[in-house]
C-alpha cells in the first residue's frame, strides 16, 4: 500500500467508518458540563457562601477540600461563572480570578496572575515577590470592588514554598480602603491543614466544604450523562460503562480517571473500526493510559534521573533482588563514566530516587538491616520494554540499556 492509500484509508475511516464519538471534547476532564450530578449540596453551599458579595458585602473565606477528581474545580468554576453572569445582570461591582497554583508553579507566577486579573501587567521576573504583591494590592484598591480569589491546588503552593502568600492575602483587607477580598482555597490534600499556620487556617476556613469521593453508581451516572453528549447513540455498552465506573471507583472515586478511561476506550474502539465500546476496550484503555503515563514520565526525566533508573534496572536484572542505595550509586557512577559525565553526589542521587518514587517509577522503602546499617531497598516498577521505548530517541542512553556494568559482573551476585 502506498502512502496515498494509507491516508485515504485513515481519512475514510474518520468520516465513513464507525465513529463512536459525537463530541470528544466533552470527555476531557477540563470540560465544564452543564450539569454536575451528585454535587448539588456543594454547589448550593458554595453559592450561598459567595452570594453576599452580590449585595456588596465581603463573603467568608472558604476552604474547599477533597481528593482529585471529586469535582472541586468543576463546581468552583461552575459557581463562579454563574456568579459572574448574575453580577453582570444586576451590575454589581464584583470581580474574581481563578488561579491554579500547581500550574502556575511558583508563588511569583501566582502573584503575577493575580495582577493580571486586576488588569495590571507585571514582568515575568525581575521584581521581588513583595513588590508584585504591593502592585496587586494597589491595583485592586483602585478597582473599588469586592474581589474573590480562587486558589486551586493551594497545597502545591504551600508545600513547595510556605504559607506566607496565603497569610498576606488573608490580611490584605486590613490595608485596603476601597476594595475587599475573599479567598476560596481549594486543596487536594486533606492534611493541608496540618501544614498551615494556625492564623491562616482560622481565617481561611471560615467556611469549609468537603467533597467526598464518588462511589461507583455516582460515577456511572456522571459518565452516562457525559456519554449522551459525547458519544453516538448506542456506542457505549452497558458493561463498558459499568467497568469504567468500577475501575475509577476503586481508585479513590476519581471522576477524571473515569472520563479518561471512557475517552481512551472510545479511541481504541474507533481505531479498530468498531462502533460500540466494549469492556475489552476499557481494559485496553487502562493499559494504554498507564503505558503512556510511564513512557512520558521517563522521557521527560533529566539525564541523571534517567541514569538512576538505568542503574536500578541493571541492579535488579543482575541480582534479582531489590537494590540498595550504595550499590545503585556504584552502578550509577559507572554509567556516568561511560558517558563521560561527572556523577552527582550520593546525597543528590538519594533525592532523585525519592522523586522517582513519587512518580511511581520506582518503589523505595527504608529498611534497617540492623548491624549492617540502614538503607533504602529499591524496586523497579517498570519493564525493560518501557525503558527502551522511552529512551529510544537518545542513542547513548539506548546503548546503556544493554550495557553490562563491570562492577556487577565481577562478584557474581551478593548475598540474599
Nearer to DNA, 154 or 244 (CB): 154
Out of 229, 346, 388, 389, the residue judged to bind DNA by CB under 7 A: 346
- Of 273 and 373, which has the nearer Cβ to DNA? 373
375 binds DNA (CB under 7 A): yes
The smaller minimum CB distance to DNA, of residues 33 and 343, is found at 343
Q: Report the C-alpha gap between 313 and 394 in whole angstroms.
A: 17
Of 359, 261, 380, 235, which Cα lies nearest the Cα of 302? 359
- In whole angstroms, the minimum distance from the beta carbon of 309 to DNA comes to 14
Strand partners, 209: 64
Three-state DSSP class for 402? coil
> How far apart are CB 407 and DNA at their closest, in Å?
13
CB of 308 to DNA, least distance (A): 11
Residues in CB range of 50: below 8 A, 6 or more apart: 59, 62, 79, 80, 83, 148, 182, 184
CB of 351 vs DNA, minimal distance in Å = 7
Dmax over CA atoms of the chain, in Å, equals 80
Among 372, 411, 412, 416, binds DNA (CB under 7 A): 372
Between the alpha carbon of residue 113 and those of residues 64, 107, 119, 149, 249, the distances in Å are 21, 10, 10, 11, 35
* Count of residues interacting with DNA (CB under 7 A): 38
Q: Give the burial class of 63: count Cβ atoms within 10 A of its Cβ; 0-12 exposed, 13-18 middle, 19 or more buried.
A: buried
Is residue 194 a contact residue for DNA (CB under 7 A)? Answer: no
Shortest distance in whole angstroms from residue 293 CB to DNA: 20
Q: Which of 283, 304, 317, 388 binds DNA (CB under 7 A)?
A: 304
Q: Are 293 and 260 in contact (CB under 8 A)?
A: no
Going from the C-alpha of 358 to that of each of 68, 136, 352, 353, 364, the distances in angstroms are 16, 35, 10, 9, 9
Q: CB-wise, 235 or 324, nearer to DNA?
A: 324
- Rounded least distance, CB 159 to DNA, Å: 12
Binding to DNA in span 90-149, by CB under 7 A: 105-108, 123-130
Q: 123 vs 234, which CB is nearer to DNA? A: 123
Residues that bind DNA (CB under 7 A): 105-108, 123-130, 302, 304, 324-327, 342-348, 350, 353-354, 366, 368-376
Amino acid at each position: 500500500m502506498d502512502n496515498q492509500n494509507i491516508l485515504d484509508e485513515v481519512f475514510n475511516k474518520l468520516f465513513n467508518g464507525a465513529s463512536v464519538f459525537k463530541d470528544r471534547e466533552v470527555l476531557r476532564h477540563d470540560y465544564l458540563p452543564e450539569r454536575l450530578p451528585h454535587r448539588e449540596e456543594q454547589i448550593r453551599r458554595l453559592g450561598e457562601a459567595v452570594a453576599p458579595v452580590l449585595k456588596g458585602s465581603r463573603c467568608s473565606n472558604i476552604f474547599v477540600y477533597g481528593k482529585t477528581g471529586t469535582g472541586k474545580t468543576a463546581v468552583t468554576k461552575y459557581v463562579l461563572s454563574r456568579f459572574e453572569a448574575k453580577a453582570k445582570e444586576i451590575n454589581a461591582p464584583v470581580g474574581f480570578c481563578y488561579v491554579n497554583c500547581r500550574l502556575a508553579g511558583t508563588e511569583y507566577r501566582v502573584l503575577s496572575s493575580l495582577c493580571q486579573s486586576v488588569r495590571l501587567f507585571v514582568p515575568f521576573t525581575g521584581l521581588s515577590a513583595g513588590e508584585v504583591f504591593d502592585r496587586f494590592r494597589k491595583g485592586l484598591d483602585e478597582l473599588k470592588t469586592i474581589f474573590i480569589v480562587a486558589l486551586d491546588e493551594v497545597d502545591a503552593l504551600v508545600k513547595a514554598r510556605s504559607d506566607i502568600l496565603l497569610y498576606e492575602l488573608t490580611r490584605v483587607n486590613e490595608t485596603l480602603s476601597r476594595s475587599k477580598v475573599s479567598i476560596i482555597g481549594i486543596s487536594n490534600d486533606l492534611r493541608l491543614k496540618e501544614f498551615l499556620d494556625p492564623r491562616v487556617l482560622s481565617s481561611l476556613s471560615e467556611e469549609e466544604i468537603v467533597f467526598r469521593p464518588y462511589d461507583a453508581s455516582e460515577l456511572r451516572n456522571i459518565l452516562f450523562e457525559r456519554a449522551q453528549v459525547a458519544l453516538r447513540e448506542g456506542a457505549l455498552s452497558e458493561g463498558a460503562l459499568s467497568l469504567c465506573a468500577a475501575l475509577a471507583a476503586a481508585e479513590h472515586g476519581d471522576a477524571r480517571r473515569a472520563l479518561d478511561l471512557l475517552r481512551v476506550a472510545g479511541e481504541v474502539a474507533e481505531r479498530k473500526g468498531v462502533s460500540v465500546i466494549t469492556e475489552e476496550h476499557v481494559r485496553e484503555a487502562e493499559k494504554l493510559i498507564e503505558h503512556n503515563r510511564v513512557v512520558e514520565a521517563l522521557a521527560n526525566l533529566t539525564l541523571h534521573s534517567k541514569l538512576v533508573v538505568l542503574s536500578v534496572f541493571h541492579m535488579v536484572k543482575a541480582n534479582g533482588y531489590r537494590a540498595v542505595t550504595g550499590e545503585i550509586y556504584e552502578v550509577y557512577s559507572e554509567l556516568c563514566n561511560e558517558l563521560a559525565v561527572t556523577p552527582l553526589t550520593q546525597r543528590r542521587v538519594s533525592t532523585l530516587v525519592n522523586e522517582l518514587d513519587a512518580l511511581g517509577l520506582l518503589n523505595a522503602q527504608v529498611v534497617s538491616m540492623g548491624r549492617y546499617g540502614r538503607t533504602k531497598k529499591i524496586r523497579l516498577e517498570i519493564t525493560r520494554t518501557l525503558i527502551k521505548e522511552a529512551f529510544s530517541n537518545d542513542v547513548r542512553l539506548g546503548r546503556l540499556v544493554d550495557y553490562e556494568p563491570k562492577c556487577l559482573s565481577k562478584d557474581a551476585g551478593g548475598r540474599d
